[in-house]
Structure 1
Amino acid sequence: MAVESYDKQWYVLHTYAGYENKVKANLESRIETMGMTDYIFRVIVPEQEVEVEKDGETKIVKENDFPGYALVEMIMTDEAWYVVRNTPGVTGFLGSHGGGSKPVSLLPDEVDDMLARMNIVERKVADLNVEVGESVKIVAGSFSGMQGEVTAIDNDKQEVTVLVDFLGRETPTEISFNDVESVL
């Protein structure tokens, strides 16, 4: 059995949009029937619960964060790659250039962030030693590299509200403790 890496890693699958959960079910079934439980471990569709108001009622529904994608935790062997790639509904791997090339795995920080957002694992939160009125530098996310003033701190959510200059206006933005650092 040819093995790219003996470490289990996370990979992103392309699927037909709207068929992510069907692909998950198909792949989980194939893992069992084809004896791949030692090589393919978990299949996850990146979803989160959101509140939706309809007809005056508030309901909690699962919303797909990345339509057309699913995540698979696996050891990249030729056989495991073949099983996943040939699962009905899977159109390929993200980071594979075709022609039999193996895909690139996600970075551990990317996986940790995604699993934490889906409440599958608790993300380790950095200790943030700032106070309202102090400046912070944003080190991750859409505003990475920007600086702003802290206007509020929410220890329960482990977020700070930072005023960032967005299109010439100061815009309050909630950012995780992990995604900012103090500017001294």
Structure 2
Amino acid sequence: MEDKQWYVVNTYAGHENRVKENLIRRVETMGIEDSLFRILVAEEKEIEYKNGKKVEKMRNLFPGYLFVEMIMTDEAWYVVRNTPGVTGFIGSSGGGAKPFPVSPEEIESILRRMGMSDQKLVVNFQVGDTVKILSGPFAGIEGTVDSMNDDAQTAMVLTILFGRETPTEISYTDLEAI
């Protein structure tokens, strides 16, 4: 028997949640709960301020894509591909070829960003160390680790921006010890 793995499903942009609901319904009606498990729309909370009020909304990290944890059986593959709103799998060369799964490291990074990961990252830096920011708006900037939050897997990094020391919260996955 194959292991369950994560796959990326292409959908019409803006229809990710509708496709997720369709897929959940189809899994139940087709009785394939033993080969299709979690269905994720990768979203993270975004805080905006409108008219002085704090507004929380969800922002889709990958518009037009769903992440599906499944065992790639012929039946499960058929059900997902033929769900309304699904335009295909990423990593399939077409012509009936089954897609390649997402690497465990990639899906772990996405789950961690959504706060859904059980795995804790082991880091090679500590408070007081100099680190380099690997991605995001501060990519390439170096700073000093001021504090660490192992539960949230983030570090407060002091960077020099516009001649001022600025504390910035950065995910462990986006930091590298120098």
Partner residue of 1:148?
142
- Tell whether the 8 Å contact from 1:137 to 1:148 is kept in structure 2 after alignment: yes
Partner residue of 1:104?
100
Partner residue of 1:117?
113
Out of 7, 12, 15, the position equivalent to 1:11 is 7
Partner residue of 1:76?
72
Deviation (angstroms), 1:94: 0.8
**Count of aligned pairs between the two proteins:** 172
Please state if 1:25 is matched with 2:25: no
Deviation (angstroms), 1:76: 0.3
Please state if 1:177 is matched with 2:167: no
Partner residue of 2:43?
47
Q: Matched residue of 2:18: which SS? A: helix
Distance in 2, Cα, partners of 1:19 & 1:178 = 29
- Tell whether the 8 Å contact from 1:160 to 1:177 is kept in structure 2 after alignment: no
Deviation (angstroms), 1:125: 2.9
User: Which whole-Å deviations, capped at 9, do the CAs of 1:64-122 have from their partners, x for residues lacking one?
Assistant: 11110011000001111000001000000111111111111111111111112112234
Deviation (angstroms), 1:131: 4.2
Out of 51-60 and 70-79, give the one that drifted further.
Answer: 51-60
Distance in 2, Cα, partners of 1:21 & 1:69 = 10
- Aligned identity (percent) is 48
Would you identify which runs of 4 or more consecutive aligned residues in structure 1 move more than 6 Å? none
Deviation (angstroms), 1:61: 1.0
- Tell whether the 8 Å contact from 2:126 to 2:148 is kept in structure 1 after alignment: no
Distance in 2, Cα, partners of 1:105 & 1:127 = 26
User: Which whole-Å deviations, capped at 9, do the CAs of 1:124-183 have from their partners, x for residues lacking one?
Assistant: 032544343x44466x6469x96834253343653152659xxxxxx9865433444444
Distance in 2, Cα, partners of 1:148 & 1:52 = 27
Distance in 1, Cα, partners of 2:96 & 2:38 = 23
Structure 1 unmatched runs, 5+: 165-170
Structure 2 unmatched runs, 5+: 161-165
Q: Matched residue of 1:29: which SS? A: helix
Q: Aligned partner of 1:50: which letter?
A: E
Distance in 2, Cα, partners of 1:76 & 1:98 = 15
Out of 56, 61, 65, the position equivalent to 1:65 is 61
Q: Matched residue of 2:24: which SS? A: helix
Q: TM-score, normalised by structure 2?
A: 0.80
Distance in 2, Cα, partners of 1:70 & 1:46 = 7
